[in-house]
Structure 1
Amino acid sequence: MSDVPPRRGPATAGSFGQLITHRRHQLGMTQGDLADQLCARSGRPTFTRHEISRYERGLRIPTAPLLPVIADSLDLPMAVLRRTAAADRKRRHAGNRR
């Protein structure tokens, strides 16, 4: 039996931030690269690498209208992004009730 933990794929990534960080690294993209793609694909010039950093650190969760743009930019299934973002929102909401 190996002591190496199993690799986490899109369906098993823990948080939204971990998911997009993992996929961004797989694609060889920087946070700036992803921000540039989101700007180009969404038509909104306001995305910066700082916003990507906030998503990856779990400080912010993107709104539903932005998820298709992220899915397209990172070549990830929308269902995975929706499910992961919803789970993060649920955890955040549960933590705020304490």
Structure 2
Amino acid sequence: MSEPIPESIPTSQDPRSKRPLKRRALTPVTQQASQVEALFAKPDRDIAIPSGASTKKNILQAPPEIVANVQGSSAGAGSGEFHVYKASRRREYERIKMMDEEVAKEKADEDF
């Protein structure tokens, strides 16, 4: 066991230390409490409220002009090829979904 002398006190707990206290992982409750305390600390400061719209909207990259090494999910492909195929299929489905949403929005705007 350590002796209760200043050299045996951990640096983070030593009152002589000028180092800031270590931040620990917060629970959701303590995290929210610290955010509320920070807001009340400066009541005259403006608060930025994020909008409800998704931030990922229309951020997908354009599809490549030429797709090399086209693969499918057929038998005989290597074990890693399946994941490559799934990723490209997911990107393509997202692209088609965004195009459909855009057409629906334009139609709704036109109807309005």
What TM-score results when the alignment is normalised by the length of structure 2?
Answer: 0.27
User: Which of 1 and 2 has higher RCO (CA within 8 Å, sep 6+)?
Assistant: 1
* Structure having the higher Rg: 2
